C-alpha cells in the first residue's frame, strides 16, 4: 500500500514536481481570423469544380450548343445509350479496370506482406523499386510497355502465340502501376497490426494458415477493399498507358472520347463525362468511407 512512498524514500527524498507539460503557446492570430483565407479557398474550389460543373450542366442541354444552355433534357443520354461503339468502349474500360483491380490487389497485397513480414536483404531495394515505379512518369512507362509488348509479340508470333495490342495489353500495362498503390495502403494497415494477435490465434490452436484466414485477413479487408476500389477507378479513367498499348479494334472509353473530339465536341461527350465522373466519385467515396471507418474504429480501440 505504502510502497510508492517508501520507494521514493530510498531514492532522493526531495523530488521536485517536474512540470514538463506547461501551457500550449497561443496560436498565430492570422489563423484565428483569416481575412483572405475564406475568399482564397472559395476561388480555389471554384477553379477546381467550375469546369466539371459546366460539363455536368451541359449534359442536360436540349440544344446542340456547348455554349448556350437552352432547356433541360435527357436527349444526349438517349443518344449515348444508342451509341453502340461508345457503350462497347465503356464496357471495355470496365473489363480492363476489373482485371487490373483483381491482379493488382492480389500482387500488391502479397508484396505488402513480403515487405512487412520478411527480414530479407532484398527488402529495402524492393521497397525503393516499388516507390520508383510509383513516381516514374507514366508516359515513359507507357512507351516502355509499348516497346516490350511489340518485342515480346514478335518473339511469340513464330511460336504460334499472339500478343497483339489489345485490351489484354492495356490490362497488363495498368497492372504494372497499380501494384504500388495497393502495397502502400495494405502495408500501412499490416504494419499497424499487433503481431501478438496472430500469436494469440496460434496459441488458441490455429495453424499458420488458419490464423491468416481467420484473423489477419479479416483485419486487413478494409485496406484491401479500399485499395482495390482505388485501383479500379485509376484504371477506369487512365489515358496515357491505354493510349499507347491499346489496339485499334476496341478502345477504352477515355481513348474513345479523345478520338471523338477530333470530329468536334458534341454534348454526348458531356453526358458520358458526367457518367464517368459519377462512377469515379462514388467509388472513391466508398473507398474512403470503408478505410476511414476502419481507421477511426481502430484509433478509438487503441485509445482505450
Q: How far apart are CA 95 and CA 211, in angstroms?
A: 34
| Window contacting another protein (CB under 8 A); options: 22-30, 154-162, 260-268, 293-301 | 293-301
DSSP reduced 3-state for 238: coil
* Residue list 52-111, contact with another protein (CB under 8 A): none
Query: Is 154 among the residues that bind another protein (CB under 8 A)?
Result: no
If you count DSSP H runs as helices and E runs as strands, how many of each does the chain have, helices first? 14, 0
Give 181's contacts (C-beta < 8 A, 6+ positions apart). 104, 108, 134, 227, 230, 231, 234
Q: How far is the CB of 230 from another protein (least distance, A)?
A: 22
Pairwise CA distance, residues 248 & 171, whole Å: 15
**Segment interacting with another protein (CB under 8 A) among 45-53, 71-79, 107-115, 203-211:** 203-211
Q: Is 2 in the site for another protein (CB under 8 A)?
A: yes
The mark string for 204-243 relative to another protein (x by CB under 8 A, - otherwise) is xxxx--x---xx--xx------------------------
CB 186, min distance to another protein, A:
16
User: CA neighbours within 13 Å on the CB side: how many for 285?
Assistant: 6
Closer to another protein at the Cβ: 178 or 294? Answer: 294
Residue nearer to another protein on the CB measure, 32 or 196? 196
Per-residue contact flags (x/-) with another protein for residues 8 to 37, judged by CB under 8 A: -xx--x------------------------
Stretch that binds another protein, among 30-38, 95-103, 162-170, 189-197 (CB under 8 A): 189-197
- CB 43, min distance to another protein, A: 42
The Cα 247–Cα 39 span in angstroms is 47
Can you tell me the distance from the alpha carbon of 44 to that of 169, in angstroms, rounded to the nearest whole number?
38
Judged by CB under 8 A, the number of residues near another protein is 30
Q: Contacting another protein (CB under 8 A), which of 7, 27, 82, 262? A: 7
- List Cβ<8 Å contacts ≥24 apart for 84-89: 85/256, 86/253, 86/256, 86/260, 86/268, 86/272, 88/250, 89/250, 89/251, 89/252, 89/253, 89/255, 89/256
Residues 6+ apart with CB under 8 A from 133: 141, 176, 177, 179, 180
Out of 46, 50, 261, 297, point to the residue binding another protein (CB under 8 A). Answer: 297
Decide: is 3 part of the binding site for another protein (CB under 8 A): yes
| Polymer length in residues for the chain | 304
Are the C-beta atoms of residues 225 and 284 closer than 8 Å to each other? no
129, 140, 197, 261: which one contacts another protein (CB under 8 A)? 197
Q: If binding is defined by CB under 8 A, does position 292 make contact with another protein?
A: no
Query: Which CB atom, from 101 or from 201, has the smaller least distance to another protein?
Result: 201
- For residue 271 the three cell numbers come to 453526358
| Crossing angle for the helix pair 167-192 and 267-303, to the nearest 10 degrees | 20
Closer residue to another protein (CB): 263 or 301: 301
Options 139, 155, 200, 288; binder of another protein; rule CB under 8 A: 200
Contact residues for another protein, defined by CB under 8 A = 2-3, 5-7, 9-10, 13, 194, 196-197, 199-207, 210, 214-215, 218-219, 297-298, 300-301, 304
Amino acid at each position: 500500500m505504502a510502497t510508492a512512498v517508501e520507494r521514493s524514500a530510498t531514492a532522493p527524498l526531495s523530488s521536485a514536481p517536474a512540470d514538463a507539460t506547461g501551457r500550449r503557446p497561443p496560436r498565430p492570430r492570422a489563423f484565428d481570423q483569416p481575412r483572405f483565407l475564406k475568399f482564397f479557398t472559395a476561388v480555389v474550389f471554384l477553379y477546381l469544380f467550375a469546369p466539371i460543373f459546366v460539363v455536368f450542366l451541359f449534359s442536360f442541354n436540349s440544344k446542340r450548343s456547348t455554349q448556350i444552355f437552352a432547356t433541360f433534357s435527357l436527349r444526349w443520354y438517349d443518344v449515348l445509350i444508342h451509341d453502340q461503339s461508345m457503350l462497347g468502349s465503356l464496357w471495355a474500360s470496365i473489363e480492363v479496370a476489373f482485371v487490373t483491380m483483381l491482379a493488382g490487389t492480389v500482387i500488391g497485397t502479397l508484396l505488402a506482406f513480403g515487405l512487412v513480414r520478411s527480414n530479407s536483404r532484398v527488402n529495402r531495394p524492393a521497397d525503393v523499386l516499388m516507390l520508383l515505379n510509383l513516381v516514374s512518369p507514366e508516359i515513359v512507362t507507357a512507351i516502355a510497355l509499348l516497346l516490350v509488348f511489340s518485342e515480346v509479340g514478335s518473339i511469340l508470333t513464330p511460336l504460334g502465340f499472339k500478343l497483339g495490342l489489345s485490351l489484354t495489353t492495356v490490362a497488363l500495362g495498368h497492372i504494372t502501376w497499380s501494384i504500388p498503390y495497393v502495397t502502400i495502403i495494405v502495408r500501412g494497415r499490416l504494419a499497424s497490426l499487433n503481431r501478438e494477435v496472430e500469436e494469440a490465434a496460434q496459441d488458441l490452436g490455429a495453424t499458420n494458415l488458419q490464423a491468416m484466414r481467420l484473423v489477419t485477413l479479416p483485419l486487413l479487408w478494409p485496406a484491401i477493399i479500399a485499395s482495390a476500389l482505388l485501383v479500379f477507378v485509376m484504371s477506369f479513367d487512365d489515358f496515357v498507358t491505354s493510349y499507347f498499348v491499346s489496339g485499334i479494334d476496341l478502345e477504352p472509353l477515355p481513348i474513345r472520347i479523345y478520338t471523338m473530339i477530333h470530329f468536334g465536341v458534341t454534348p454526348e461527350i458531356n453526358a458520358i463525362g458526367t457518367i464517368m465522373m459519377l462512377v469515379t466519385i462514388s467509388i472513391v467515396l466508398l473507398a474512403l468511407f470503408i478505410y476511414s471507418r476502419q481507421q477511426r474504429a481502430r484509433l478509438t480501440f487503441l485509445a482505450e
